[in-house]
Structure 1
Amino acid sequence: MVTGTGLVERAGGLGELGRRRAADAEEQRRLTPDVVALMLESGFARHFVPVRLGGVEGGFSEFARAVATVAEGCAATAWCASVAASLARVATCLPEEGQADVWGGGADVFVVGSLSPVGKAVPAPGGWRVSGSWAYISGVDYSDWVVVCAVLPGGGGARLFALPRGAYAVKDTWTGSGMRGTGSNTVIVDDVFVPESRSADRQRLSDGHTVPIQAVNGLSCAPAALGAARGALKLWTSDTAQRLARGGGRVGGPGPALSTYEAVLTRSSGEIDAAMLLLERAASVADRGPRISEEEIARNVRDYALSTELLVSAVNRMFSASGTSGQSTGSPLERAWRDVNSIATHIALTFDPAAVLFASRPFALEAA
């Protein structure tokens, strides 16, 4: 594993371009082409790709910092950058022949997909015939490959299937109130043959293919919320300072007192820092690879959910104290508020399932 690839340094430029194009991305409900091009040029797609295929085999800590850096400018751009890296890592589960198909032309390939087992696959000579519909596939309009999950007949489990562009259709279905620029549309696969070499047992992800998927699943989502909350803090602090300079916050004057703004700043910045520390630890655990214990997996899952709750709390507090201008539709702060709350609904960041997993061992010991 490479310990430093320059991804974080390059992420700053991508975040800035994403910020400038954010309004267009929201209107079009997908990233603009120049943002996608810079995302690939910056190295997100090749971050987890094996060196032998032109990738850099980068680490999770660097990945998480880079995604958060991009999200300070545009959460939707950061989310798609995370997808490009994370789904490429999933595709490395394929047999070597399948990996060569995906990355034979270079490592900067935009792989998207879904791990939800909602498709159907039946055996065919030399492979499988796959059909199904997978919703919420972020970045799919610009994708080169898609990885989808389908159920096998007769209770045979589920498998992952990699399909090149042209083997699947894209249905325009994305109308989310937050993360509008992600273009999270629907993939349609209609009885397409997939060779065995482009397929893998879904269980490989859980059994420790480089690192168990449970230990890192939330890491593909939470850093985007962290960066968006940081960006919101900068916006809110700047806007509030200008409001105070115009005479707001005076005793007996209109609006909240100065102490109210001080409390919002202090508590929200503290929650953002606490979330950052939780995610940094989770990423450092992930960087240890398949040696992660079940207890550490449960703690990581808890920390992804807990850090996201902290970020939602911080952003909602700032939004409530932002005044009419900050809450105007389309303002950068209003967009960050929508984006962070939207990210928090992802299943990988849901607190109750994380609590069940984390508490299962201690409570099981007590019950015994």
Structure 2
Amino acid sequence: MPADQQPDTGTADAAEAVRALAARCAADADTTRKLSREVADAVRGAGFARHFVGREHGGAEGSFAELTRAVVTVARGCASTAWYASLAAYSGRIASHLPREGREAVWADSPDTVIATGLMPAGRAVKVDGGWRLSGRWGYVSGIDLADWVLVCAVVPGAEGPPAMRFFALPWGTWTVENTWDSVGMRATGSHTVTVEDALVAEHFSFDRQELLTGRNSSSDRPVHNMPLQAVAGLPFVAPVVGAALGALDAAAATVTGRRRTPAGEVKLVRAAGRIDAARLLVEQNADTADSHRLDRGLLARAERNATTAAELLRDSAGQLVALAGTGGLGETHALQRHWRDITSATSHVALQYETSAAKSHANALLGPAEE
């Protein structure tokens, strides 16, 4: 169903209240490096975790466009809160690939179950009677301190040829957390390291990583659950950056008063605002394309290019806003410096780099495959 025909789930409407609360708590979250339970509960109550969960489990099966609007709204107050909300939603979409018995267990108590995900294959698993034996250590698992379940990716022996990769779902209490997240920005995302030691994981709590990459979901026929990872591109990571940049714009504009309001300052502010809006349009285009379920190679490549281009525009704009505000904007109590640090940290994510994400696929779409 096209994005303009999909009913709203209410998440975007609820996001404004989450933004206001997150903004009030942002300074404390930045200092303590964790979200408060009140903020985490507000994210859950607004419907982020259930956004992509199937209706048969009580979920909303919402659109990419609505979620993107909601995440942008929350990030205007606190980028770490928006990052947590965004990844909780997208983790629910990833969990839709689990076999039905596994999905029913994950969402047995509520479709608002919060799942954290370690996307990179960092552990190993072997087949045993009753399922898999899993061990490993996964870094940068955002929101793990607030999660009910975790999804991690591990290497498994291939039947023939090279090893394969699978995702595994584990409930709270079956992993340990090392507090390794010490980034200068996005401090309260809780992107710590998860360790699993020789856990027995039932077969219905596992699925082949190729399903996520290709978008061929053998467990759900819902369109939103059958989108390849490339189509989603950097949406989970770049949408919070858009909101953070809008927050930075608000904070910088508040400094352009009295004698500081000069023609040169106004031009700098307007230039930054234009670039932020351009980035936002690129991100919204990606969300609309994902909702349209069109999967030709050119659109997939454009989605990756849009995400990385938006990240670059937003990072540059944040730097311009800090330069405009001057020393005052860098005070520890000023929201501008927090947004600037958050944007700088978030845009370092591997999914938002030309070299690792967008350049090759879009160059091939424009020029055709390179000659050998």
TM range (shorter): over 0.9
In the alignment, structure 1 residue 268 sits paired with structure 2 residue 272: yes
Out of 239, 246, 250, the position equivalent to 1:230 is 246
- CA shift at 1:171, angstroms? 1.1
Conservation of the 8 A alpha-carbon contact between 1:30 and 1:139: no
The separation in 2 between residues aligned to 1:298 and 1:266, in whole angstroms, is 30
Out of 212, 219, 227, the position equivalent to 2:228 is 212
Deviations 1:272-309 (A, max 9, x none): 110111111110000123x4112111000000000111
In the alignment, structure 1 residue 192 sits paired with structure 2 residue 196: no
Segments of 5+ residues of structure 2 without an aligned counterpart are 218-225
TM-score scaled by length of structure 1: 0.94
1:346 alignment partner AA: H
Aligned to 2:298: 295
Structure 2 counterparts to residues 274-285 of structure 1, below 5 A: 274-285=278-289
- CA shift at 1:315, angstroms? 0.8
Structure 2 counterparts to residues 227-266 of structure 1, below 5 A: 227-241=243-257, 245=258, 247-248=259-260, 258-266=262-270
Deviations 1:128-180 (A, max 9, x none): 01100111111111110000000013533100000000111111111110000
Aligned to 1:310: 313
Aligned to 2:143: 139
- CA shift at 1:113, angstroms? 1.1
Out of 325, 332, 349, the position equivalent to 1:322 is 325
- CA shift at 1:365, angstroms? 5.7
Out of 332, 337, 351, the position equivalent to 1:334 is 337
- CA shift at 1:329, angstroms? 2.7
Q: 1:45 to 1:68 in 2, by over 3 A?
A: same
Partner of 2:177, secondary structure, is strand
Structure 1: 4+ residue segments shifted above 2 A? 153-156, 361-368
Deviations 1:218-250 (A, max 9, x none): 000111000000011111111212xxx1x235x
Conservation of the 8 A alpha-carbon contact between 2:140 and 2:192: yes
Structure 2 counterparts to residues 1-368 of structure 1, below 5 A: 2-153=6-157, 155-208=162-215, 209=217, 210-241=226-257, 245=258, 247-248=259-260, 258-289=262-293, 291-353=294-356, 354-364=358-368, 367=371
- CA shift at 1:366, angstroms? 7.6
The separation in 1 between residues aligned to 2:268 and 2:135, in whole angstroms, is 50
Aligned residues: 355
My pick for the range that moved more, 20-29 or 141-150, is 20-29
The separation in 1 between residues aligned to 2:283 and 2:366, in whole angstroms, is 23
Superposition CA RMSD, Å: 1.4
Q: 1:80 to 1:366 in 2, by over 3 A?
A: closer
The separation in 1 between residues aligned to 2:23 and 2:340, in whole angstroms, is 15
Aligned to 1:252: none
The separation in 1 between residues aligned to 2:64 and 2:188, in whole angstroms, is 24
Aligned-pair identity (%): 43
